[in-house]
Amino acid sequence: MAARAYWRGQIRLALVSIPVEIFSATKSGAQIAFNQIHEPTGKRIKYEKVVPGVGPVDPDEIVKGYQYEKGSYVVVSDEELEGVKLESKKTLELTQFVDYDEVDVLYFEKPYFVVPADDLAEEAFIVLREALRKTRKMGIGQLALRGREYLVSVKPCGRGIVLETLRYADEVNKARDYFRDIADSKPDEELLDLAETLIDRKTADFDPAKFHDRYIEALHDLIERKKKGKTISADEEEAPARGTNVIDLMAALKRSIEKPGEQTGKQAAKKASAAAKKAPAKKAPAKAAPARKRA
């Protein structure tokens, strides 16, 4: 079954409007949900809504309220909430352009694929995509959708465009509040060289298919064993000892590099190049003798 568009509308750049469709670029990973169980009976625990001093209440008597101070609430009806929702617009206007690396990674929230809505929109779509790619810019705009307004960015992605919702400034914690106690000092050059060597050794092309959620896999295995009535014992791992000084770090980095059978990406390239130079040249095939002319 074809994917259903999350949004249909147009991207507007000045006087140019490009009809597009937006699709979710991600999907939820495997999840395992647990219920609370009454152990003596094995039955699931359920909850009922109660008011202190009153007891259980009818769902029709429940309304929404905002606590503006402890114990004091402003009651808001569904109709009043609907009245402040923004109308979903069919236009995403790009009002600003910024460099790819100008927006901190903390602001990016969720990606969506953007494709031209039809063949007639494709030419303008490609022009926008290639202009963004050539200038290494991404467009910024705001999109009213499902009652609220999102800050979004658009940038090239293969043959298409990817739209990402962005967090607003008040949704992102200031990094300096967490990093200010970290010393502003330069590392020891030898330690830095050793760390760079380790990074070079483990450098490879990113392939997300190589990574799996080992916790989910372990949970599935646990549940299957429990279903078969097997007893599970947890083996506690000893916490790794902390290094106490630079000497410990230096020794640990050196031991990591000296592991047998491993070599850096640069070393592997040099080794392959040297092997190619040492390989004996292949002999050219002997030329066939010219055929004798018939009398």
d(CA 261, CA 270): 16
Choose among 50, 164, 157, 158: nearest CA to 105: 164
Q: Note whether residue 54 is domain-resident.
A: no
Other Cβ atoms less than 10 A from the Cβ of 285: the count is: 6
Q: State the average pLDDT over residues 115-125.
A: 94
pLDDT at position 266 is 52
Domain around 99: 7-25+85-171
Q: Note whether residue 33 is domain-resident.
A: no
Could you tell me the pTM of the whole model? Answer: 0.67
Confidence of residue 137 (pLDDT cuts 50, 70, 90): very high
Q: State the average pLDDT over residues 181-187.
A: 89
What are 18's strand-pairing partners?
11
Q: Note whether residue 272 is domain-resident.
A: no
d(CA 134, CA 220): 47
Q: Note whether residue 104 is domain-resident.
A: yes
Asked if 201 and 262 touch (Cβ cutoff 8 Å), the reply is yes
Q: State the average pLDDT over residues 137-155.
A: 91
What are 137's strand-pairing partners?
99
Asked if 124 and 14 touch (Cβ cutoff 8 Å), the reply is no
Q: Which two tokens stand for residue 44?
A: 């699931």
Confidence of residue 251 (pLDDT cuts 50, 70, 90): confident
151: exposed, middle or buried (C-beta count within 10 Å: 0-12, 13-18, 19+)? middle
Confidence of residue 208 (pLDDT cuts 50, 70, 90): confident
pLDDT at position 272 is 53
Q: State the average pLDDT over residues 142-166.
A: 93
Q: Note whether residue 109 is domain-resident.
A: yes
The CATH code of the domain that includes 100 is 2.40.290.10
Q: Note whether residue 101 is domain-resident.
A: yes
d(CA 231, CA 216): 19
Strands 72-76 vs 43-44: parallel, antiparallel or unpaired: unpaired
Q: Note whether residue 203 is domain-resident.
A: no
Count structural domains, the chain: 1
Span 49-103, pLDDT tens digits:
999 888 899 888 899 999 999 989 999 988 888 888 776 678 999 999 999 889 9
The three-state secondary structure class of 247 is: helix
The three-state secondary structure class of 284 is: coil
CA angle 169, 173, 174 (to 5 degrees): 95
Range name among 20-29, 136-145, 286-295 with the lowest pLDDT average:
286-295
Q: Note whether residue 208 is domain-resident.
A: no
Span 259-292, pLDDT tens digits:
655 554 555 555 555 555 555 555 444 444 444 4
The three-state secondary structure class of 258 is: coil
